[in-house]
Structure 1
Amino acid sequence: MTGLRARQKADRNRRILEAATALFRDAGYDSTRIEDIAERVGVSPGTLYNYYENKGDILVAAVSMEVEEVLESGKSIVEAPPKSALDALQALIDLYFDHSLVYFSKEMWRTAMAISIQQPESPFSRRYTELDARLCDQVSTLIQTLQMQGVIIPGIDAVAVGQMVFNNLNMMFIEYVKDDAMTLETLKDRVLRQNRPLVQLIGQPMI
Protein backbone atom coordinates (compact mmCIF):
# COMPACT_ATOMS: atom_id res chain seq x y z
CA MET A 1 0.00 0.00 0.00
CA THR A 2 2.86 2.37 0.76
CA GLY A 3 4.18 2.00 -2.79
CA LEU A 4 0.71 2.56 -4.23
CA ARG A 5 0.18 5.71 -2.17
CA ALA A 6 3.59 7.02 -3.23
CA ARG A 7 2.73 6.44 -6.91
CA GLN A 8 -0.65 8.10 -6.47
CA LYS A 9 0.97 11.10 -4.79
CA ALA A 10 3.61 11.37 -7.52
CA ASP A 11 0.92 11.12 -10.21
CA ARG A 12 -1.17 13.84 -8.56
CA ASN A 13 1.89 16.05 -8.19
CA ARG A 14 2.68 15.70 -11.89
CA ARG A 15 -0.93 16.53 -12.80
CA ILE A 16 -0.68 19.65 -10.62
CA LEU A 17 2.51 20.76 -12.37
CA GLU A 18 1.20 20.05 -15.86
CA ALA A 19 -2.10 21.84 -15.15
CA ALA A 20 -0.29 24.81 -13.63
CA THR A 21 2.16 25.22 -16.50
CA ALA A 22 -0.70 25.05 -19.03
CA LEU A 23 -2.61 27.74 -17.15
CA PHE A 24 0.48 29.90 -16.65
CA ARG A 25 1.15 29.73 -20.37
CA ASP A 26 -2.45 30.36 -21.48
CA ALA A 27 -3.66 32.89 -18.89
CA GLY A 28 -0.37 34.25 -17.62
CA TYR A 29 1.36 33.56 -14.33
CA ASP A 30 -0.01 36.63 -12.55
CA SER A 31 -3.60 35.98 -13.64
CA THR A 32 -3.65 32.32 -12.63
CA ARG A 33 -4.98 31.57 -9.14
CA ILE A 34 -4.35 28.56 -6.96
CA GLU A 35 -8.08 27.87 -7.21
CA ASP A 36 -7.81 27.73 -11.02
CA ILE A 37 -5.06 25.13 -10.80
CA ALA A 38 -6.98 23.06 -8.26
CA GLU A 39 -10.08 23.14 -10.46
CA ARG A 40 -8.09 22.04 -13.52
CA VAL A 41 -6.62 19.10 -11.58
CA GLY A 42 -9.95 18.20 -9.94
CA VAL A 43 -8.84 18.66 -6.34
CA SER A 44 -9.67 21.16 -3.61
CA PRO A 45 -7.39 24.16 -3.05
CA GLY A 46 -6.66 22.69 0.39
CA THR A 47 -5.32 19.53 -1.21
CA LEU A 48 -3.08 21.57 -3.49
CA TYR A 49 -1.71 23.47 -0.49
CA ASN A 50 -0.62 20.12 0.94
CA TYR A 51 1.89 20.03 -1.91
CA TYR A 52 2.83 23.69 -2.36
CA GLU A 53 2.59 26.87 -0.32
CA ASN A 54 2.13 29.22 -3.28
CA LYS A 55 2.26 29.64 -7.05
CA GLY A 56 5.97 30.39 -6.98
CA ASP A 57 6.73 27.01 -5.47
CA ILE A 58 4.64 25.36 -8.18
CA LEU A 59 6.44 27.20 -10.96
CA VAL A 60 9.92 26.42 -9.67
CA ALA A 61 8.92 22.78 -9.07
CA ALA A 62 7.76 22.63 -12.69
CA VAL A 63 11.23 23.75 -13.77
CA SER A 64 12.65 20.77 -11.89
CA MET A 65 10.23 18.48 -13.73
CA GLU A 66 11.41 19.97 -17.02
CA VAL A 67 15.09 19.54 -16.17
CA GLU A 68 14.61 15.95 -15.01
CA GLU A 69 13.10 15.11 -18.39
CA VAL A 70 15.97 16.84 -20.19
CA LEU A 71 18.55 14.92 -18.18
CA GLU A 72 16.88 11.63 -19.03
CA SER A 73 16.69 12.50 -22.74
CA GLY A 74 20.33 13.60 -22.78
CA LYS A 75 21.62 10.22 -21.61
CA SER A 76 21.40 8.67 -25.07
CA ILE A 77 23.52 11.43 -26.61
CA VAL A 78 26.16 11.17 -23.88
CA GLU A 79 26.33 7.39 -24.16
CA ALA A 80 26.56 7.33 -27.97
CA PRO A 81 27.53 10.81 -29.18
CA PRO A 82 28.04 11.85 -32.81
CA LYS A 83 31.63 11.36 -33.95
CA SER A 84 32.22 15.09 -34.36
CA ALA A 85 32.82 16.99 -31.12
CA LEU A 86 30.94 20.03 -32.45
CA ASP A 87 28.00 17.89 -33.59
CA ALA A 88 27.92 16.08 -30.26
CA LEU A 89 27.90 19.28 -28.24
CA GLN A 90 25.29 20.86 -30.44
CA ALA A 91 23.05 17.79 -30.31
CA LEU A 92 22.98 17.93 -26.52
CA ILE A 93 22.58 21.70 -26.36
CA ASP A 94 19.81 21.71 -28.98
CA LEU A 95 17.98 19.08 -26.95
CA TYR A 96 18.20 21.33 -23.88
CA PHE A 97 16.97 24.36 -25.79
CA ASP A 98 14.15 22.55 -27.63
CA HIS A 99 12.78 21.03 -24.44
CA SER A 100 12.85 24.39 -22.65
CA LEU A 101 9.70 25.42 -24.50
CA VAL A 102 7.70 22.23 -23.93
CA TYR A 103 6.17 23.55 -20.70
CA PHE A 104 7.39 27.13 -20.44
CA SER A 105 7.05 30.42 -22.23
CA LYS A 106 9.79 33.03 -22.00
CA GLU A 107 7.70 34.97 -19.48
CA MET A 108 7.41 31.87 -17.30
CA TRP A 109 11.16 31.28 -17.43
CA ARG A 110 11.84 34.88 -16.39
CA THR A 111 9.47 34.53 -13.45
CA ALA A 112 10.90 31.17 -12.37
CA MET A 113 14.46 32.48 -12.50
CA ALA A 114 13.52 35.54 -10.45
CA ILE A 115 11.77 33.42 -7.82
CA SER A 116 14.71 31.03 -7.50
CA ILE A 117 17.06 33.97 -6.96
CA GLN A 118 14.74 35.71 -4.49
CA GLN A 119 14.09 32.53 -2.50
CA PRO A 120 17.31 30.50 -2.82
CA GLU A 121 16.74 28.53 0.39
CA SER A 122 13.28 27.19 -0.46
CA PRO A 123 13.30 23.41 -1.04
CA PHE A 124 12.11 23.91 -4.61
CA SER A 125 14.83 26.46 -5.40
CA ARG A 126 17.45 24.16 -3.92
CA ARG A 127 16.16 21.30 -6.06
CA TYR A 128 16.31 23.54 -9.14
CA THR A 129 19.93 24.46 -8.32
CA GLU A 130 20.84 20.80 -7.77
CA LEU A 131 19.38 19.78 -11.12
CA ASP A 132 21.12 22.67 -12.87
CA ALA A 133 24.41 21.30 -11.51
CA ARG A 134 23.51 17.87 -12.90
CA LEU A 135 22.98 19.42 -16.33
CA CYS A 136 26.46 20.90 -16.08
CA ASP A 137 27.81 17.49 -15.07
CA GLN A 138 26.10 15.92 -18.08
CA VAL A 139 27.89 18.31 -20.45
CA SER A 140 31.20 17.49 -18.74
CA THR A 141 30.46 13.77 -19.05
CA LEU A 142 29.90 14.25 -22.78
CA ILE A 143 33.31 15.92 -23.08
CA GLN A 144 34.88 13.06 -21.11
CA THR A 145 33.21 10.50 -23.38
CA LEU A 146 34.52 12.27 -26.48
CA GLN A 147 37.98 12.39 -24.93
CA MET A 148 37.93 8.64 -24.25
CA GLN A 149 36.89 8.08 -27.85
CA GLY A 150 39.89 10.08 -29.07
CA VAL A 151 37.81 12.97 -30.41
CA ILE A 152 39.12 15.42 -27.79
CA ILE A 153 42.87 15.71 -27.23
CA PRO A 154 44.26 14.06 -24.07
CA GLY A 155 45.40 16.23 -21.20
CA ILE A 156 42.46 18.62 -21.50
CA ASP A 157 40.47 19.08 -18.26
CA ALA A 158 37.19 17.71 -19.60
CA VAL A 159 35.21 18.70 -16.50
CA ALA A 160 36.38 22.32 -16.72
CA VAL A 161 35.60 22.44 -20.44
CA GLY A 162 32.13 21.07 -19.77
CA GLN A 163 31.58 23.73 -17.12
CA MET A 164 32.69 26.44 -19.56
CA VAL A 165 30.31 25.18 -22.24
CA PHE A 166 27.42 24.89 -19.79
CA ASN A 167 28.01 28.31 -18.24
CA ASN A 168 27.98 29.86 -21.69
CA LEU A 169 24.85 28.09 -22.90
CA ASN A 170 23.15 29.00 -19.63
CA MET A 171 24.08 32.68 -20.07
CA MET A 172 22.90 32.63 -23.67
CA PHE A 173 19.61 31.04 -22.62
CA ILE A 174 19.09 33.87 -20.13
CA GLU A 175 19.69 36.37 -22.95
CA TYR A 176 17.16 34.44 -25.05
CA VAL A 177 14.37 34.53 -22.44
CA LYS A 178 15.03 38.23 -21.80
CA ASP A 179 14.50 39.04 -25.49
CA ASP A 180 10.98 38.26 -26.72
CA ALA A 181 12.06 38.87 -30.32
CA MET A 182 14.91 36.34 -30.34
CA THR A 183 14.02 33.04 -31.99
CA LEU A 184 15.17 29.62 -30.86
CA GLU A 185 17.08 29.16 -34.11
CA THR A 186 18.96 32.41 -33.50
CA LEU A 187 19.92 31.18 -30.04
CA LYS A 188 21.17 27.87 -31.43
CA ASP A 189 23.16 29.58 -34.20
CA ARG A 190 24.88 31.93 -31.74
CA VAL A 191 25.86 29.14 -29.38
CA LEU A 192 27.11 27.03 -32.30
CA ARG A 193 29.26 29.93 -33.48
CA GLN A 194 30.72 30.31 -29.97
CA ASN A 195 31.44 26.59 -29.59
CA ARG A 196 33.12 26.21 -32.98
CA PRO A 197 36.47 27.88 -32.05
CA LEU A 198 36.53 26.05 -28.72
CA VAL A 199 36.19 22.70 -30.46
CA GLN A 200 38.93 23.69 -32.91
CA LEU A 201 41.24 24.23 -29.92
CA ILE A 202 40.45 21.02 -28.04
CA GLY A 203 39.59 18.67 -30.89
CA GLN A 204 41.92 15.89 -31.97
CA PRO A 205 43.54 16.77 -35.33
CA MET A 206 42.23 14.65 -38.17
CA ILE A 207 44.85 12.31 -39.68
Structure 2
Amino acid sequence: MAVAGGKNGTGGEGGLRDRKKLRRREDILNAARLLFAERGIDGTTMAEIAAAVQVSPPTVFNYFGNKDGILIALITEGTRTARTVHLQKPPRTDTDFATVLTGIFTDVSGRTLDIAGKRVWRYAEAAAIRHPAAPLACEYRIVEDSLHLSLTERLAPYDMRLRSGGPADPAQLAQVFYDAWNPCFFALICDDGCTLDQHRADVDARFRPLAGMIFEPGFLRQPVLKPNPEPS
Protein backbone atom coordinates (compact mmCIF):
# COMPACT_ATOMS: atom_id res chain seq x y z
CA MET A 1 0.00 0.00 0.00
CA ALA A 2 1.34 3.44 -0.93
CA VAL A 3 1.50 5.98 1.85
CA ALA A 4 0.18 9.45 1.03
CA GLY A 5 3.09 11.84 0.80
CA GLY A 6 5.57 8.99 0.37
CA LYS A 7 7.86 8.44 -2.57
CA ASN A 8 5.24 6.56 -4.57
CA GLY A 9 2.18 8.52 -3.38
CA THR A 10 0.47 11.31 -5.20
CA GLY A 11 2.37 13.81 -3.06
CA GLY A 12 5.79 12.19 -3.68
CA GLU A 13 8.32 12.42 -6.46
CA GLY A 14 6.10 10.61 -8.96
CA GLY A 15 3.16 12.90 -8.28
CA LEU A 16 5.35 16.01 -8.49
CA ARG A 17 6.83 14.80 -11.77
CA ASP A 18 3.35 14.19 -13.20
CA ARG A 19 2.19 17.64 -12.15
CA LYS A 20 5.22 19.24 -13.77
CA LYS A 21 4.58 17.34 -17.00
CA LEU A 22 0.94 18.36 -16.98
CA ARG A 23 1.85 22.00 -16.33
CA ARG A 24 4.42 21.97 -19.13
CA ARG A 25 1.86 20.44 -21.48
CA GLU A 26 -0.62 23.21 -20.62
CA ASP A 27 2.10 25.83 -21.13
CA ILE A 28 2.86 24.44 -24.59
CA LEU A 29 -0.83 24.48 -25.54
CA ASN A 30 -1.30 28.04 -24.30
CA ALA A 31 1.79 29.27 -26.16
CA ALA A 32 0.67 27.51 -29.34
CA ARG A 33 -2.81 29.00 -29.05
CA LEU A 34 -1.38 32.53 -28.91
CA LEU A 35 1.12 31.97 -31.71
CA PHE A 36 -1.44 30.29 -33.97
CA ALA A 37 -3.82 33.22 -33.47
CA GLU A 38 -1.09 35.76 -34.20
CA ARG A 39 0.77 34.10 -37.07
CA GLY A 40 -1.44 31.29 -38.27
CA ILE A 41 -0.57 27.61 -38.03
CA ASP A 42 1.50 27.51 -41.22
CA GLY A 43 3.38 30.61 -40.06
CA THR A 44 4.31 29.09 -36.69
CA THR A 45 7.16 26.63 -36.20
CA MET A 46 7.56 24.04 -33.49
CA ALA A 47 10.82 25.77 -32.55
CA GLU A 48 8.96 29.03 -31.93
CA ILE A 49 6.44 27.25 -29.72
CA ALA A 50 9.29 25.63 -27.80
CA ALA A 51 11.08 28.95 -27.40
CA ALA A 52 7.93 30.58 -26.02
CA VAL A 53 7.82 27.95 -23.25
CA GLN A 54 11.62 27.81 -22.84
CA VAL A 55 11.87 24.13 -23.67
CA SER A 56 13.64 22.31 -26.50
CA PRO A 57 11.81 21.55 -29.79
CA PRO A 58 12.17 17.77 -29.18
CA THR A 59 10.21 18.25 -25.95
CA VAL A 60 7.30 19.71 -27.87
CA PHE A 61 7.49 16.88 -30.41
CA ASN A 62 7.52 14.34 -27.59
CA TYR A 63 4.30 15.76 -26.16
CA PHE A 64 2.32 16.25 -29.39
CA GLY A 65 4.16 14.82 -32.40
CA ASN A 66 3.53 17.78 -34.71
CA LYS A 67 1.45 20.94 -35.08
CA ASP A 68 -1.66 18.98 -36.02
CA GLY A 69 -1.23 17.06 -32.77
CA ILE A 70 -1.20 20.35 -30.87
CA LEU A 71 -4.27 21.51 -32.77
CA ILE A 72 -6.12 18.27 -32.03
CA ALA A 73 -5.37 18.70 -28.32
CA LEU A 74 -6.55 22.32 -28.38
CA ILE A 75 -9.81 21.43 -30.11
CA THR A 76 -10.69 18.23 -28.26
CA GLU A 77 -9.82 19.42 -24.77
CA GLY A 78 -11.34 22.83 -25.32
CA THR A 79 -14.60 21.44 -26.68
CA ARG A 80 -14.82 18.95 -23.82
CA THR A 81 -14.61 21.79 -21.30
CA ALA A 82 -16.98 23.97 -23.30
CA ARG A 83 -19.56 21.19 -23.51
CA THR A 84 -19.49 20.76 -19.73
CA VAL A 85 -20.14 24.48 -19.24
CA HIS A 86 -22.73 24.52 -22.02
CA LEU A 87 -24.79 21.76 -20.44
CA GLN A 88 -24.80 23.45 -17.04
CA LYS A 89 -26.90 26.33 -18.34
CA PRO A 90 -30.56 26.01 -17.31
CA PRO A 91 -33.12 26.02 -20.14
CA ARG A 92 -34.74 29.40 -20.70
CA THR A 93 -38.51 29.93 -20.80
CA ASP A 94 -38.52 33.70 -20.32
CA THR A 95 -38.48 34.57 -24.01
CA ASP A 96 -39.68 33.19 -27.35
CA PHE A 97 -38.17 29.96 -28.63
CA ALA A 98 -36.47 31.50 -31.68
CA THR A 99 -34.51 33.71 -29.29
CA VAL A 100 -33.73 30.66 -27.13
CA LEU A 101 -32.35 28.80 -30.16
CA THR A 102 -30.29 31.79 -31.27
CA GLY A 103 -28.85 32.05 -27.77
CA ILE A 104 -27.93 28.36 -27.61
CA PHE A 105 -26.11 28.39 -30.94
CA THR A 106 -24.35 31.74 -30.55
CA ASP A 107 -23.17 30.56 -27.15
CA VAL A 108 -21.55 27.65 -29.02
CA SER A 109 -19.94 30.14 -31.42
CA GLY A 110 -18.52 32.25 -28.61
CA ARG A 111 -17.13 29.29 -26.69
CA THR A 112 -15.64 27.90 -29.89
CA LEU A 113 -13.71 31.12 -30.41
CA ASP A 114 -12.59 30.97 -26.77
CA ILE A 115 -10.93 27.63 -27.59
CA ALA A 116 -8.97 29.02 -30.54
CA GLY A 117 -8.96 32.06 -32.80
CA LYS A 118 -10.53 32.43 -36.22
CA ARG A 119 -7.30 31.62 -38.08
CA VAL A 120 -7.05 28.30 -36.28
CA TRP A 121 -10.62 27.33 -37.13
CA ARG A 122 -10.13 28.35 -40.77
CA TYR A 123 -7.10 26.06 -40.92
CA ALA A 124 -8.96 23.21 -39.25
CA GLU A 125 -11.95 23.51 -41.60
CA ALA A 126 -9.71 23.60 -44.69
CA ALA A 127 -7.49 20.74 -43.48
CA ALA A 128 -10.51 18.55 -42.76
CA ILE A 129 -11.73 19.10 -46.33
CA ARG A 130 -8.33 18.63 -48.00
CA HIS A 131 -7.29 15.55 -46.04
CA PRO A 132 -10.46 13.78 -44.89
CA ALA A 133 -8.60 10.64 -43.75
CA ALA A 134 -5.99 12.49 -41.67
CA PRO A 135 -6.12 12.32 -37.85
CA LEU A 136 -7.08 16.00 -37.63
CA ALA A 137 -10.09 15.49 -39.92
CA CYS A 138 -11.17 12.39 -38.02
CA GLU A 139 -10.93 14.24 -34.71
CA TYR A 140 -12.81 17.18 -36.20
CA ARG A 141 -15.71 14.88 -37.10
CA ILE A 142 -15.73 13.50 -33.56
CA VAL A 143 -15.96 17.06 -32.24
CA GLU A 144 -18.87 17.78 -34.58
CA ASP A 145 -20.66 14.63 -33.38
CA SER A 146 -20.08 15.72 -29.79
CA LEU A 147 -21.47 19.16 -30.57
CA HIS A 148 -24.60 17.63 -32.10
CA LEU A 149 -25.10 15.50 -28.99
CA SER A 150 -24.65 18.56 -26.78
CA LEU A 151 -27.24 20.51 -28.79
CA THR A 152 -29.65 17.58 -28.61
CA GLU A 153 -29.26 17.54 -24.84
CA ARG A 154 -29.92 21.29 -24.67
CA LEU A 155 -33.19 20.89 -26.64
CA ALA A 156 -34.38 17.71 -24.92
CA PRO A 157 -35.91 19.41 -21.80
CA TYR A 158 -38.36 21.45 -23.91
CA ASP A 159 -41.88 20.18 -24.55
CA MET A 160 -41.56 21.09 -28.21
CA ARG A 161 -44.76 21.15 -30.21
CA LEU A 162 -44.68 21.16 -34.01
CA ARG A 163 -47.02 22.72 -36.55
CA SER A 164 -47.37 19.29 -38.15
CA GLY A 165 -48.71 17.81 -34.92
CA GLY A 166 -46.11 15.06 -35.09
CA PRO A 167 -43.60 14.14 -32.39
CA ALA A 168 -40.61 16.44 -31.85
CA ASP A 169 -37.27 14.63 -32.09
CA PRO A 170 -34.59 16.75 -30.35
CA ALA A 171 -31.80 15.10 -32.36
CA GLN A 172 -33.46 15.85 -35.70
CA LEU A 173 -34.24 19.42 -34.69
CA ALA A 174 -30.69 19.93 -33.43
CA GLN A 175 -29.45 18.82 -36.87
CA VAL A 176 -31.87 21.13 -38.72
CA PHE A 177 -30.74 24.19 -36.78
CA TYR A 178 -27.09 23.10 -36.84
CA ASP A 179 -27.28 23.03 -40.65
CA ALA A 180 -28.74 26.56 -40.60
CA TRP A 181 -26.12 27.79 -38.09
CA ASN A 182 -23.05 26.28 -39.75
CA PRO A 183 -22.86 28.73 -42.71
CA CYS A 184 -23.18 31.61 -40.24
CA PHE A 185 -20.30 30.22 -38.19
CA PHE A 186 -18.21 29.75 -41.33
CA ALA A 187 -18.88 33.38 -42.28
CA LEU A 188 -17.87 34.45 -38.76
CA ILE A 189 -14.49 32.71 -38.85
CA CYS A 190 -13.76 33.82 -42.42
CA ASP A 191 -14.29 37.52 -41.64
CA ASP A 192 -11.85 38.85 -39.04
CA GLY A 193 -13.99 41.97 -38.68
CA CYS A 194 -17.24 40.13 -37.93
CA THR A 195 -18.25 40.46 -34.27
CA LEU A 196 -20.26 38.02 -32.19
CA ASP A 197 -23.10 40.57 -32.09
CA GLN A 198 -23.20 40.63 -35.90
CA HIS A 199 -23.03 36.86 -35.94
CA ARG A 200 -25.93 36.67 -33.47
CA ALA A 201 -28.02 38.87 -35.77
CA ASP A 202 -27.17 36.65 -38.76
CA VAL A 203 -28.12 33.50 -36.85
CA ASP A 204 -31.37 35.04 -35.64
CA ALA A 205 -32.27 36.09 -39.19
CA ARG A 206 -31.88 32.48 -40.32
CA PHE A 207 -33.50 30.85 -37.30
CA ARG A 208 -36.61 33.00 -36.85
CA PRO A 209 -38.42 32.15 -40.13
CA LEU A 210 -37.30 28.52 -39.88
CA ALA A 211 -38.62 28.24 -36.33
CA GLY A 212 -41.88 29.83 -37.47
CA MET A 213 -42.34 27.10 -40.07
CA ILE A 214 -41.51 24.25 -37.67
CA PHE A 215 -43.02 25.05 -34.27
CA GLU A 216 -46.62 25.53 -33.17
CA PRO A 217 -47.19 29.29 -32.62
CA GLY A 218 -48.13 28.97 -28.95
CA PHE A 219 -44.97 27.06 -28.08
CA LEU A 220 -42.85 29.34 -30.26
CA ARG A 221 -44.22 32.36 -28.40
CA GLN A 222 -43.93 30.82 -24.91
CA PRO A 223 -41.70 27.73 -24.66
CA VAL A 224 -42.41 25.27 -21.87
CA LEU A 225 -40.47 22.38 -20.39
CA LYS A 226 -41.45 18.76 -20.19
CA PRO A 227 -42.99 17.83 -16.84
CA ASN A 228 -40.68 16.12 -14.41
CA PRO A 229 -41.36 12.38 -14.20
CA GLU A 230 -43.24 11.26 -11.13
CA PRO A 231 -40.96 9.60 -8.56
CA SER A 232 -41.41 5.83 -8.51
* TM interval, short-chain normalised: 0.7 to 0.9
Amino acid at match of 1:191: V
Shift of 1:123: 3.6
How high is the sequence identity, in percent, across the aligned residues? Answer: 26
Within-5 A mapping of 1:97-116: 97-116=109-128
Show the counterpart of 1:137: 149
Shift of 1:44: 1.6
More helix by share: 1
Shift of 1:136: 0.9
Aligned residues of 1:60 and 1:125 also touching (Cα < 8 A): no
TM-score by length of structure 1 reads 0.82
Give the number of the structure whose alpha-carbon radius of gyration is greater: 2
Shift of 1:117: 2.9
Distance 1:2 1:98 in 2: 40
Shift of 1:114: 1.7
Show the counterpart of 1:127: 139
Map Cα deviations across residues 41-95 of structure 1 (whole Å, 9 max, x no partner). Answer: 2322111111223223322432223322321121123xx2101423332222121
TM-score by length of structure 2 reads 0.74
3-state SS of the aligned residue for 2:27?
Answer: helix
Q: CA RMSD for the aligned pairs?
A: 2.6
Distance 1:73 1:191 in 2: 21
5+ long unaligned stretches in structure 2: 1-7, 223-232
Aligned residues of 2:148 and 2:175 also touching (Cα < 8 A): yes
Show the counterpart of 2:199: 187
Map Cα deviations across residues 158-194 of structure 1 (whole Å, 9 max, x no partner). Answer: 2111111112212221122223343322221111121
Distance 1:184 1:28 in 2: 21
Amino acid at match of 2:91: P
Pairs aligned (count): 202
Show the counterpart of 2:218: 205
Q: Structure 1's 81 and 39: CA in aligned 2 closer, same or farther, altered over 3 A? A: same
Shift of 1:9: 4.2
Amino acid at match of 1:48: V
Show the counterpart of 2:91: 81
Q: Structure 1's 28 and 130: CA in aligned 2 closer, same or farther, altered over 3 A? A: closer
3-state SS of the aligned residue for 2:127?
Answer: helix
